[in-house]
Amino acid sequence: MGTTDAPRGPEIWIRGPVAVPEPEPGPHAPLATARRFSWLATHGGAGASTLAAVYGGQDCGRDWPAPGDPPSVLLVARTHAAGLGSVLRALEVFRRGEAPHGLDLDAVVLVADAPGRLPRPLAERIRLVESVIDVYRVPWVPDWRLGDLGGSPPRETEALARLTGRGR
């Protein structure tokens, strides 16, 4: 600690890539080790179920991950005002150390609430979130709206696909 002994919250404010251990080389080693995540919706309709179906991992809905679920958490929200407000409140829970013990907040995943460009006030709120944690953006996907979750994830989500082990 520094010069004070004040308790500190979780270190979610340190930005950077998430280190994934490399598999041991050998004839039977897997090609890649996919990291598992718990998708945690910060509000109803955020898209956590769809993202878990497409990218793998545990869909926790709006509940904290259970003891057997992956402790690595991806917060999910829509890009509308209510969704961005809910993700900011969830980030504050982690910052204050009020999330259940043993959970690691890895990133925020923002799912487009409509096709097209975001209004400036919403884009500014997203920049605020991006200033404290890694953010992955998921575009509007008409097929997902119709329930068609097959096929490859959208090209714009390649970084998220790599993070979850669903990359090309």
- Binned at pLDDT 50, 70 and 90, residue 34 comes out as low
Scanning the structure block, which residue is given the tokens 């929200």? 77
- Confidence at residue 161, expressed as pLDDT on a 0 to 100 scale: 94
Strand order from edge to edge, sheet including 38-41: 58-59, 38-41, 72-78, 104-111, 135-138
- Confidence at residue 98, expressed as pLDDT on a 0 to 100 scale: 96
pLDDT digits (tens, 9 = 90+) for 62-117: 999 999 999 999 999 999 999 999 999 999 999 999 999 999 999 999 999 999 99
For the chain, the domains span: 38-164
**pLDDT top residue among 96 and 167:** 96
Q: Tell me the one-letter amino acid at 86.
A: S
> Which residues, listed in sequence order, are joined to residue 73 by a DSSP beta bridge?
38, 105
Query: What class, spelled out in words, does domain 38-164 have in CATH?
Result: alpha beta
